[in-house]
Amino acid sequence: MSNAQSWTHYWQQGHVESCIDNQSSDNNELKRAWQTFSALITPEACVVDLATGNGSVLKKLAEFKPHAEYVGVDYATVDPQWAINVKNVNFISDTSIDALPFSNESVDIVTSQFGFEYGMNANAIKELIRVLKPRGYFQLIIHHEQSEIVLPAKRRHHEIDLVLAPNSLVEAIERYLGGLIDAPALESTGKTFLEKNQSTLSQSISGQCFSVINKAVELQSNNDLSSAVQLVARLKDSLVKELARLSHLITVAQSEQKIDWLAEQLNKGQIKVEIAQLETNEQQILAWVVKGQKHE
Ligand SMILES: C[S@@+](CC[C@H](N)C(=O)[O-])C[C@H]1O[C@@H](n2cnc3c(N)ncnc32)[C@H](O)[C@@H]1O
């Protein structure tokens, strides 16, 4: 499955957010950042949100400034439910941010939240500069490699790696159900796993694995081997998908050096850039904020 297809699959499940829980206080910080930025949106402005997903940014902006024209672009196929009857919000699917379908200097405002960095390359930067009108504004909220989103993702990634490693939990239950090891060997793998990794384990990953293993053993002892095998296969599939999603997120998170590089490229394109860090209430890093205005 390509990256665009896996995002299509994700968005078609109806999510509006991807990196942050809709109810979390971090989402309030993001909302505040967009609310402040929305002061720059005039009623007749054309606003383009890059790598929009199901339009989390546009949903917020259209609430703050209901009269502007909003367009979301994504290389996944997106058609969010919330926007179906909203006339001034439209989505352009299956379209990469490095070849935007807008004419030169036609867009008043460009935005992106945890999206631009996924497709960031020299072309995407050129496209942002090309479509923005002189004096047009932009704001990009970008994953920070030390953020409260990326650091937990790194811990989750490490834990999933541990349970999927050769001879570890998932392989042990597969081998047990395949008749290749006996119950004491399965138990001993579980004990060793706990002893070695205790400090890094969470309920949502290792805890979930242990409960699937217990359930699979129970099903097998009730002569329902096929349900036990399916249960373990579903667990493995969801862990593998989660691992891929987390790897992607960790890879696109930006260091200070890379953000400086982005600012330099934008500066070369006649854009005045400011870089800041968005922080949580507890002064922990949430993201980079790269914003600015194109010269006349
Ligand atoms: C983490 S999600 C963020 C979505 C949305 N901005 C949000 O805040 O919920 C990243 C999005 O980037 C999109 N994406 C990644 N690379 C892209 C590219 N080259 N062109 C367009 N969209 C891209 C993905 O399809 C996905 O929807």
Q: What is the 3-state secondary structure (H, E, C) of 111-167?
A: EEECCHHHCCCHHHHHHHHHHEEEEEEEEEEECECCCCCHHHHHHHHHHHHHHHCCC
Q: What is the DSSP string of 237-272?
A: HHHHHHHHHHHHHHHHPBPHHHHHHHHHHHHHTTEE
CA distance 9 to 54: 12
Q: Which two tokens stand for residue 197?
A: 């990794």
Q: Which two tokens stand for residue 128?
A: 């942002």
Summarize pLDDT for 159-210 with one digit per residue, the tens. 999 999 999 999 999 999 999 999 999 999 999 999 999 889 999 999 999 9
Please work out whether the CB of residue 114 comes within 6 Å of at least one atom of ligand 1.
yes
How high is the pLDDT of residue 23? 65
CA distance 140 to 287: 10
CA-4 nearest atom, ligand 1: 25
* Distance in Å, CA 141 to ligand 1 centroid: 12
Encode the chain (296 residues) as per-residue pLDDT tens digits.
788 988 898 899 888 887 776 667 778 899 999 999 999 999 999 999 999 999 999 999 999 999 999 999 999 999 999 999 999 999 999 999 999 999 999 999 999 999 999 988 999 999 999 999 999 999 999 999 999 999 999 999 999 999 999 999 999 999 999 999 999 999 999 999 999 998 899 999 999 999 999 999 999 999 999 999 999 999 999 999 889 889 999 999 999 999 999 999 999 988 989 999 999 988 999 999 999 999 98
How high is the pLDDT of residue 9? 84
Segment holding 291, helix H or strand E: strand 285-294
Q: pTM of the full predicted structure?
A: 0.89
Residue whose CA is at the smallest distance from ligand 1 atom 6:
52
Please work out whether the CB of residue 115 comes within 6 Å of at least one atom of ligand 1.
yes
- For residue 209, CA distances in Å to 36, 168, 174, 262 come to 43, 11, 12, 41
How high is the pLDDT of residue 22? 64
Q: Which of 74, 55, 76, 72 is nearest to 3 (CA)?
A: 76
CA distance 21 to 31: 12
* Distance in Å, CA 53 to ligand 1 centroid: 5
CA-57 nearest atom, ligand 1: 8
Mutate to test the pocket of ligand 1, among 74, 92, 140 (most ligand atoms within 8 A of CB): 74
